[in-house]
Structure 1
Amino acid sequence: MSWGIENSKKRKDILDLMDIGVRKTMANPNYVNEVPKSTNGCWMDQIYGLMRCDICDLSSQCPVREEEEWQAWLKEHNIVIEKKKAE
């Protein structure tokens, strides 16, 4: 996250995230261990309650980003995936 130090907006955003984390942990010291899993697979959404892809340090392994790229590729190649109906 060294890139955040040079960019004042990103530095402020990171400090805001740290503040959210501190507040949640102060309210419940076991928060990180007890937080429910995110429905979309985003760890930032799970821990902080918001998605910030622009400052996420795990973006190369992000299931949300991978799904967006997959859907964009399907659209670009004019591919439609039909799901079978349960009988």
Structure 2
Amino acid sequence: MSWGIENPNKRKDILDLMDIGVRKTMANPNYVNEVQKSTNGCWMDQIYGLMRCDICDLSHQCPVREEEEWQAWLKENNMVVEKKKTD
């Protein structure tokens, strides 16, 4: 996140994110160990309760981003994925 220090808007966003984290851990010191896993796979959504792809330092491994890119590729290449029925 060092790149965010140069940009005043991103710096403010990162400081806000850090503030959310501090408030959550002050309210419950075991928060990080007890937090429920995010249903969409986003670690920021899991820990902070919000998705901020623009400041995420793990975006290249993000399952949400990968799924969006996959769906965009399917649409661009006019592909349709059909799921098998399990009857």
Shorter-chain-normalised TM-score: which range?
over 0.9
- Identical aligned pairs, as a percentage? 90
Q: Aligned-residue CA RMSD in angstroms?
A: 0.5
Q: TM-score, normalised by structure 1?
A: 0.98
Return structure 1 stretches of 4+ with deviation > 2 angstroms: none
Residue 16 of structure 2 corresponds to: 16
Q: TM-score, normalised by structure 2?
A: 0.98
Residue 41 of structure 2 corresponds to: 41
Residue 83 of structure 2 corresponds to: 83
Gapped regions of structure 1 (runs ≥ 5): none
In the alignment of these two chains, the number of paired residues is 87
**Separation of aligned partners in 2, 1:24 and 1:86:** 43
Gapped regions of structure 2 (runs ≥ 5): none
